[in-house]
Structure 1
């Protein structure tokens, strides 16, 4: 009887873990907008991303050295390659596209299609075949994202390569995420791997910032608030929970939660910056929730 009770409690906890982790990831993922909104007013994108990744890496470094297995060079190199893909190319690519006048709404929409690319790549790279229910849920979730993003969509007058960069950055992050789940060499404790990824990004963003003119941060309250948001929520919370979920669940289950990022981002904008909420947002949120539920249940 005691064993049966323990099994029931363990099953209940395991069922609650996925929605709990997904909720934390969505909060962290969508909060990046808040940090960028605060910090980008007085600093270039390269400076903003340099300080975001540098501070994240420095804060994590003592914990990475003191806790967990000894970090060896053979384990660091694959993590650095992943950091180039998931931090430098992903974050830097979208930032550069926005600087080249690709409309922010279009960039956000393409970035929010990461789960669709991950779902498509998971079968050939990992052998994780999506069921019919999961493909249906994916299609519904994408429809919800389109509804949420429709009001802010425009195509602008950016150079053609900038649009390609946006799509390429999204695909690189999707490939990196799928490879992380499939390669045992990347299964380092989360705080250690995130430290290496952040410091790798800091070096590369630092080079870009120096090329553009300097890395000195603006000493303003807004920039400081933005860094707190970007480091604590958009980096520590979002990436740490995301990496943990990739270990525990299928790619389809992990990626489905990302579809909820656009409507949650709009809630952040409404609460902190008084941006209006539209009926399309609530309709899109409802449609997306149905799609995420179907995908995660598959």
Structure 2
């Protein structure tokens, strides 16, 4: 019996490790797919045609919620999740795609967005009634230094993006933080797929409206555009987002947040290989500082479950993006 338990444990560890690697690759692919799509069409076109198919694919889950709530003539939490969808998807993705279109490196954009867990832990904690430790403040400071170094290296080496363009990903990161506050204050959780259906439907409406208003709703006929969309749908959305939730259930939200800090280095190397984006020694130092910041702040821990304080602060089904 003891040998069998050991085999199961080792098997689970290998499977979890493989899923973690796949998660980092899939989430990183979103930044690469954004640059691929931006090469053939405006940001609004790419985002409209990314979310319209998603909304249609997830429509059955939304209809199930409507039928379930028919007796009450309303969907509980609908307004809240529409707002979460606007902040965590519409605002976030619009700023990511816009920054990359302006010439900000994919790795730089990924790093700026990747410090969201540190910002949330250090700045949003008091709003959620969670104590902020000195290590978290130190980790935030160290992580921001790393971000500044990477931005400096990217701006000096590439020189394609205007200086203000590097503020755009920060807006998206703040959108994620705001969505965390809204989601955590919800009186009751919503099943993840139903919440995702509302988020994607909201984004489909937002981006379709923006595309029509700017005259960019018609997609290009190029095969590379549709290849980029397929890339984003399969790898970034279903792969990245799906594996996020699966890993949260297997190992807890804190270790998964630790994995988020590996996304920027992977994206930087990937962008350098595919798009000849600069990867200088200063970039490497900045990325290393961001990873150390996660360790200092305690965002990366061993174990299969979050620590007790985290479990208390994050009820099951309400772990969105922090």
TM-score, normalised via structure 1 length: 0.76
Provide the secondary structure at the position in 2 that maps to 1:73: coil
Aligned partners of 1:56 and 1:62: how far apart in 2? Answer: 11
Query: What is aligned with 2:42?
Result: 44
Gap change, CA 1:290 and 1:254, over 3 Å in 2: same
Aligned partners of 2:140 and 2:128: how far apart in 1? Answer: 18
Aligned partners of 2:7 and 2:186: how far apart in 1? Answer: 32
Whether the 8 Å CA contact 1:209–1:215 is kept in 2: the answer is yes
Query: What is aligned with 2:208?
Result: 206
Bigger mean CA offset, 139-148 vs 25-34: 139-148
Query: What is aligned with 1:175?
Result: 178
After the TM superposition, which residues 1-298 of structure 1 pair with which residues of structure 2 at under 5 Å, given as runs? 23-62=21-60, 65=63, 70=68, 73-96=75-98, 101=102, 103=104, 110-153=112-155, 157=162, 166-185=169-188, 187-242=189-244, 254-273=256-275, 275=277, 277-294=279-296, 295=298, 296-297=300-301
Superposed CA RMSD? 4.0
Structure 1 runs not aligned, ≥5 long? none
Aligned partners of 1:206 and 1:143: how far apart in 2? Answer: 38
What is the CA distance between 1:63 and its match in structure 2?
A: 5.4
Aligned partners of 2:250 and 2:177: how far apart in 1? Answer: 17
**CA deviation profile, 1:50-99 (whole Å, cap 9, x unmatched):** 111112222233356569x9466224332212111111122223445666
Whether the 8 Å CA contact 1:31–1:230 is kept in 2: the answer is yes
Structure 2 runs not aligned, ≥5 long? 302-306, 308-322
Gap change, CA 1:214 and 1:150, over 3 Å in 2: closer
Q: How many residues align?
A: 291
Provide the secondary structure at the position in 2 that maps to 1:228: helix
Whether the 8 Å CA contact 2:34–2:100 is kept in 1: the answer is no
**CA deviation profile, 1:133-161 (whole Å, cap 9, x unmatched):** 44444444444444444321369657x7x
Aligned partners of 2:176 and 2:278: how far apart in 1? Answer: 31
Whether the 8 Å CA contact 2:84–2:179 is kept in 1: the answer is yes
**CA deviation profile, 1:220-244 (whole Å, cap 9, x unmatched):** 2211221122112222233334456
